[in-house]
Amino acid sequence: MPDPTVPPTPPVPLTALLAREDLALRRIAGPSDPSLVIHAAHTSEMADPYPYLLGGELLLTAGVHIPDAAGSGTYFDDYVSRIVAAGGAALGFGLAPVHDTVPRALIEACDAYGLPLLEVPPQTPFTAVARAVWQLLAQARLAELRRVTEAQQSLAAAAARPDPVPSVLRQLAQRLGGWTALYGPEGTEIASAGRRPEAPVSASLAELAEVVRPSGPGTPTSATHATAGTHLAAYTLSTGFVLGVATPSREPGDHTIASVATVLLTLLTGEQQSGSGAARTSALVRLLLGSTAQEVAPLLGKDDRWLVVHACPYDQRDRPHPGARGTARSAPTGPHPPDLLAATALGASLGSPLIDPEGEVVRILLPADRTPEPHPGWTLGISAPVPAQQLPAAAAQAARANARARATRTPLSRYGTHPGLAGLVPKEEAQAHARALLAPLAEHPALTETLRTWLSLHGSWDRTAVALAVHRNTVRQRIARSAELLRTELDDPDVRMELWFALRQE
């Protein structure tokens, strides 16, 4: 005889159904254990209801199937035993129109087999009982969903804290009302939270963790066990770690909540297992202790060349008005500060955790073999690939590319995309020429940057104002001052070309 399969729905305490005054149900036999629950209501007048039950039901009958001579034989014993074998949770017997009272032999059989027997009064139709069961089930399901949702939110918040692994374990222990432990790949307990159970229970949980530890094909991903009145569960993480949970009881939704924690801990321990998180922490510590960026760069990865990305949240107010024919606002609006979660998501989509939200921009460090693509909601500026020693210069390149992208309303701009004639001049000579030509502006960085942006945008006052987030009159004043200091005429295309060549060498 196969074991009954209880439906995967949150149960309803039988006492909650008995408490409904509109139903006027009365328990007349069987145990009065308050922990008894039901999962459904089913009506049947079959002499053998076993084939029609899944388990956990309140079976309702008016006794139509009972033969006249049932009281003198084993009919009621057979009938009740089959309900119990099918996993039935309780039996409801309706009075009228067939029977005026519940048969005494049925009461005795229910007491003998430990099956709760409820008397259903004549004024209460079976449909009312079934409806009440489904209402209680819906309320239980809603409460379960609310509990799981709140647990998911609290676990996600815990994973974002400075000590994510202990925080997730603490939050899980709180939500399940028990003890949680994380076992390392070698089987040692590396962290725990909640009230530790007695030594035999914690030892049993450690043994259960070994059952699910990956050891080859066929290893289960989770396992449960009960000992000393405590429910134990173990969940394997793909990183070789195992999550163990010990709770006084198993409540609906516990498995779902534990599964959420398992996913979060997999991500957190995966970073520790790969060493990338420790490497980034080591790089930060070394910088704080006086090392140079060049010295710690190898800790960030095996790549020896990098890209710097400057990203600004796209501001809809920067879009030209449909009838404006490309003209900009007279008072340009700058980008708004990025949201930290949005910045983290952007870094993840580009494939790098190395992000730096600073003011109105997000700076992201990428290996040079990545190919950043436009990202909805962001304006990106990409530097040229550089070795670690030149990352500060690459950051300046990315900032200029971003300013150009914003000014031209393009989602992405790359610095130095196409080689030019400047590559034919030896770098040292080009830089020496640039320093000499731009010497009058050396003490005026705002003028230098305004001139660079203005030249890159073909002398457009409005677009330069948008790119620099200043008024167009400020741009005019700065360009006029630059021409004065350089003692040259900026309307001359040869002069512009010469200055652009020099500015590119900085």
Q: How confident is the model over 298-341, as pLDDT tens digits? A: 776 655 688 899 998 875 444 443 333 344 433 344 445 566 66
Of 503, 311, 295, 294, nearest to 390 by C-alpha is 294
- Whether the CB-CB separation of 14 and 4 falls below 8 Å is answered with no
Longest dimension (CA), the chain: 123
pLDDT at 335: 47
Q: Give the model confidence (pLDDT) of 480-506 as tens digits.
A: 998 899 888 888 888 888 888 788 776
Cross-strand bridge partners of residue 216? none
Is the pLDDT at 294 greater than 80? The verdict is no
Own/partner pairs for 399-405, CB < 8 Å, 24+ apart?
399/310, 399/361, 400/452, 400/453, 400/456, 401/310, 402/310, 402/311, 402/312, 402/361, 403/453, 403/467, 403/468, 404/453, 404/456, 404/457, 404/467, 405/379, 405/380, 405/381
pLDDT at 319: 44
Question: Does an H or E element contain 414, and which?
Answer: strand 412-414
Which two tokens mark 158?
């815990």
Report strand pairing: 90-94 vs 57-61: parallel
Residue entry with tokens 């590559």: 423
- Whether the CB-CB separation of 407 and 457 falls below 8 Å is answered with yes
Query: Can you tell me the distance from the alpha carbon of 180 to that of 167, in angstroms, rounded to the nearest whole number?
Result: 11
Q: Say how many Å lie between the first and final Cα of the chain, rounded.
A: 85
pLDDT band at residue 421 using 50, 70 and 90 as cut-offs: low
Query: Can you tell me the distance from the alpha carbon of 352 to that of 369, in angstroms, rounded to the nearest whole number?
Result: 12
Query: Can you tell me the distance from the alpha carbon of 53 to that of 79, in angstroms, rounded to the nearest whole number?
Result: 13
Is the pLDDT at 105 greater than 90? The verdict is yes
Is the pLDDT at 223 greater than 70? The verdict is yes
Query: Residue 33 has what DSSP assignment?
Result: -
pLDDT at 4: 57
C-alpha separations of 200 from 228, 249, 307 in Å: 9, 17, 55
Is the pLDDT at 198 greater than 70? The verdict is yes
Which CATH code, of 3.40.50.720, 3.30.450.30, 3.30.420.40, 3.40.630.30, is assigned to 160-274? 3.30.450.30
Rounded to two decimals, the pTM is 0.49
Query: Can you tell me the distance from the alpha carbon of 131 to that of 20, in angstroms, rounded to the nearest whole number?
Result: 12
Q: Give the model confidence (pLDDT) of 115-160 as tens digits.
A: 999 999 999 999 999 999 999 999 988 988 899 999 999 999 998 8
Q: Which has the minimum average pLDDT: 56-65, 340-349, 388-397?
A: 340-349
Q: Which has the minimum average pLDDT: 36-40, 226-230, 356-360, 412-416?
A: 356-360
Query: How many Cβ atoms sit within 10 Å of the Cβ of residue 164?
Result: 17
Q: Is CATH 1.10.10.10 the right assignment for the domain spanning 422-504?
A: no
Coil, strand or helix at 22: coil
Query: Can you tell me the distance from the alpha carbon of 263 to that of 314, in angstroms, rounded to the nearest whole number?
Result: 33
Report strand pairing: 189-193 vs 179-183: antiparallel
Residue spans of alpha helices (H) in 63-214:
75-85, 104-113, 126-159, 164-176, 199-212
% of the chain beyond a pLDDT of 90: 40
Of 189, 181, 184, 257, nearest to 214 by C-alpha is 184
- Whether the CB-CB separation of 310 and 363 falls below 8 Å is answered with yes
Residue entry with tokens 């409806």: 131
In the chain, what are the domain boundaries?
12-137, 160-274, 302-418, 422-504
Which two tokens mark 461?
């006052």
pLDDT at 276: 56
12-137: CATH superfamily: HprK N-terminal domain-like (3.40.1390.20)
Is the pLDDT at 90 greater than 90? The verdict is yes
Is the pLDDT at 20 greater than 70? The verdict is yes
Query: Residue 191 has what DSSP assignment?
Result: E
- 3-state secondary structure labels for all residues of 315-384: CHHHCCCCCCCCCCCCCCCCCCCCCHHHHHHHHHHHCCCCEEEECCEEEEEEECCCCCCCCCCEEEEECC
- Whether the CB-CB separation of 239 and 205 falls below 8 Å is answered with no
C-alpha separations of 95 from 16, 62, 118, 153, 408 in Å: 21, 7, 11, 49, 83
Query: Can you tell me the distance from the alpha carbon of 350 to that of 353, in angstroms, rounded to the nearest whole number?
Result: 9
pLDDT band at residue 186 using 50, 70 and 90 as cut-offs: confident
What mean pLDDT do residues 228-241 have? 88
pLDDT at 316: 41
